[in-house]
Amino acid sequence: MVVGELCSPAIFSSNGDESMKKKRRGGFIVACVAPAVILFIIFMIIPTIDVFRMSLYKWGGYTANKTFVGLENFKKLSQNPKFYQAFQNSILLIVIVTLVTFCLALIFAAILSREKIKGQNFFRIVFYIPNILSVVVISAIFSAIYDPNQGLLNSFLSLFRGGSDPILWLGKPKLVIYSVAIAMIWQAVGYYMVMYMASMANVPESLYESASLEGAGRLTQFFSITLPLVWTNIRTTLTFFIISTINMSFLMVKAMTNGGPDGASNVFLSYMYQEAYTNSSYGYGMAIGVAVFVFSFALAGILNAVTKRDEIEF
Amino acid sequence: MKKEKQQFGASPKIAKVFIYLILALLAITILVPVAWVFVASIKENSEFYRNPWALPQGFHFQNFVDAWQTASMGDYMLKSVLVTALALFLLVIIALPAAYVLARFRFKSRAIWNTLFMAGLFINVNYIVVPIFLMLNNGDMFLRKATGHPFFLNNIFILALVYAATALPFTVYLLSGYFKSLAKDYEEAAYVDGAGYFYTMVRVIIPMAKPSVVTVILFNFLAFWNEYIISMTLLTKPELKTLPVGLMNLMAAQKSAVQYGQLYAGLVIVMLPTLILYMCVQKKLTQGMTLGGLKG
């Protein structure tokens, strides 16, 4: 049977049973969609509903003793200084990582797509490398960099400031969150750069040519052509920054400091994981999850509204 | 306007040098730590107490042997390979038909499933890992009572299934995006020739989707290979670990037993496969990223 061959007028067996055909079509649809839908419902929809449901219970975990407590968990949450610590750290990370990564990614994307650079490909390939590494690997690398005694950073700095009192990059409560931020920026720049490069490639060359003819410098071109035209893409990535910073900060903190020293580097989800597992207070842990979920959506919505501009067609 | 041109055009050389300088700076910040791990992986343990910037004195390959055997990175590697391969296989055979039908067939509940999968894009695994664990744990408790054999936790197959399930929304979204772009003529021609639905899908449509399938496999390979939160939560037995979790253990052990050489050899073992894959397919990967839209 040569399927690709287009053949003459359709000779559908019109005398063939129409309902039989319908049945076969229905069966095919069910057979194709059902496995995906079932898997998706069991491992994603039900657990998501569970998060919300469990947040209303006081539940110690392995025992079946669940008591409905309503919003008690949320009330407890709002009075817990540890939650505020995690909250503060998360906000700090969202702001710092988003701002710095965004600026760096935009600058490097503009350079690599607008300037005539030798080895352009090489730079693009290298900048994307952190994105393919496991967070565990990145954490291990940065642990080696931050190590107080044998670390790369301290031994480099000792050239200037002497090696007598090493800086505890991951050991000082005030410093640790910035150390985590640097690791996160290191990981994310290449990803967003590639994304911005892709949308910059869609800006028609003719716009730049006519701008050059009118004598607009490179910086002017960047601010009056490139930036407005990739704005839609930038807006989408802002939402991504929030969601991925919340998630990535959890992965980093869990592997690098495990919340330490003494909870100083805890973020939203690492605090949740800690409460749910180490303290086995599942209900309370899930209340944290719900709070974070709602918060991230609200923040994304606000940012989306604030950054709204008229879309520019080109 | 003229002023600006002078301001910038007067020193194009300096600007160029500056540009190369910051490009080189970022490239160094990324390459040096990665390269350092490779260098450190062949150092002897005593060398770690000296200047970390010093080059290795010899090629201490024993680190890799230790990591592979003593620290069981070999076993973990095998687990990782199995889980990743199984999860990719499950994902592809489950997501492909679903994406195809959801994109190209009109039926009653279609809108519901499409919306649900779209919503799934926003569900992050980190939120739901606890309920997944509890659900499987409950299942095990029930089985232990009924048959005496727990099944769900510490099961590589279940882990792979969870991986596949959590990757479904993005994969279905990406693949149906491709299927929607195809012309109707392909199926019509096949049906006219008397081909059934299944035959048409497997022989006509899916072969055309090969590039998209490759993209899906690449992205999810990296995601599954590097994943550690689900793996750490669902595989609780010490002998059952995937590479990243094993590496985390090695990191923890290193703090007390000070086995630096082993740790860095372990790091190389974890990242080498992804680096090699990346070097081979970097173009496809960065293109695929823009093709598939955005995914954090």
Q: Give tens-digit pLDDT for A111-150.
A: 998 888 888 889 999 999 999 999 999 999 998 899 887 7
Per-residue pLDDT, A311: 63
Global ipTM: 0.85
**Cβ contact A163:A154 at 8 Å:** yes
Residues of chain B with Cβ-Cβ distance to A39 below 8 Å are: 94, 161, 164-165, 168
**Cβ contact B222:B121 at 8 Å:** no
Q: How far apart are CA B250 and CA B244, in angstroms?
A: 10
Per-residue pLDDT, B288: 66
What value does the mean pLDDT take over residues B26-40? 93
The answer to whether the Cβ–Cβ distance between B222 and A132 falls below 8 Å is yes
- Calculate what percentage of chain A has a pLDDT beyond 90: 39
Q: What is the 3-state secondary structure (H, E, C) of chain B?
A: CHHHHHHHHCCHHHHHHHHHHHHHHHHHHHHHHHHHHHHHCCCCHHHHHCCCCCCCCCCCCHHHHHHHHCCCHHHHHHHHHHHHHHHHHHHHHHHHHHHHHHHHCCCCCHHHHHHHHHHHCCCCHHHHHHHHHHHHHHHHHHHHHHCCCCCCCCCHHHHHHHHHHHHHHHHHHHHHHHHHCCCCHHHHHHHHCCCCHHHHHHHHHHHHCHHHHHHHHHHHHHHHHHCCHHHHHHCCCCCCCCHHHHHHHHHHHHHHHCCHHHHHHHHHHHHHHHHHHHHHHHHHHHHHHHHCCCCC
Residue A297: exposure state from Cβ atoms within 10 A (0-12, 13-18, ≥19)? middle
Residues of chain A with Cβ-Cβ distance to B102 below 8 Å are: 33
Distance from CA of B236 to the nearest CA of A (A): 13
Nearest to A232 by CA among B117, B293, B175: B293
Nearest to A265 by CA among A248, A253, A255, A247: A253
For chain B, domain boundaries: 63-291
Probe site for chain B from A39, A104, A290 (most B CB atoms < 10 A) = A39
The answer for A 152-181 residues in CB contact with B (under 8 A) is: 152, 155-156
**Cβ contact A272:B229 at 8 Å:** no
What value does the mean pLDDT take over residues A59-64? 65
Say how many C-beta atoms besides its own lie within 10 A of residue B92's C-beta.
18
Chain A contact for B114 (CB, 8 A cutoff): no
Chain A contact for B123 (CB, 8 A cutoff): yes
Q: How far apart are CA B289 and CA B223, in angstroms?
A: 13
Each residue of B149-163: pLDDT tens digit?
A: 888 999 999 999 999
Per-residue pLDDT, A314: 58
The answer to whether the Cβ–Cβ distance between B116 and A40 falls below 8 Å is yes
B63-291 belongs to CATH 1.10.3720.10:
yes
The answer to whether the Cβ–Cβ distance between A51 and B200 falls below 8 Å is no
**Cβ contact A82:B157 at 8 Å:** no
Probe site for chain A from B76, B106, B125, B128 (most A CB atoms < 10 A) = B128
In this structure, which topology does domain A73-306 adopt according to CATH?
A: MetI-like fold (1.10.3720)
Over 60: is that where the pLDDT of B4 sits?
Answer: no
Q: How far apart are CA B80 and CA B232, in angstroms?
A: 12
| Structure confidence at residue B54 as a pLDDT band (50, 70, 90) | confident
Backbone dihedral region for residue B236 (phi beyond 0: left; psi -120 to 50: alpha; all else: beta): alpha
Distance from CA of A188 to the nearest CA of B (A): 10
Q: Roughly how many angstroms between the first and final C-alpha of chain A, as a whole number? A: 47
Q: Which of B8, B30, B53 sits opposite A127 (nearest CB)?
A: B30
Per-residue pLDDT, A158: 81
**Cβ contact A237:A192 at 8 Å:** yes
- For the CA atoms of A270, A273, A276, A280, the dihedral, rounded to the nearest 10 degrees, stands at -90
Lowest mean pLDDT segment, chosen from A66-70, A170-174, B219-223, B290-294: B290-294
Chain A contact for B165 (CB, 8 A cutoff): yes
Q: Which of B225, B226, B267 sits opposite A140 (nearest CB)?
A: B267
Distance from CA of B112 to the nearest CA of A (A): 11
**Sequence-distant (≥ 6) Cβ neighbours of residue B252 within 8 angstroms:** none
What value does the mean pLDDT take over residues B4-25? 75
Write down how long chain A is: 314
**Sequence-distant (≥ 6) Cβ neighbours of residue B226 within 8 angstroms:** A133, A134, A135, A136, A137, B244, B274
Chain B contact for A31 (CB, 8 A cutoff): yes
**Sequence-distant (≥ 6) Cβ neighbours of residue B196 within 8 angstroms:** A24
Chain B contact for A68 (CB, 8 A cutoff): no
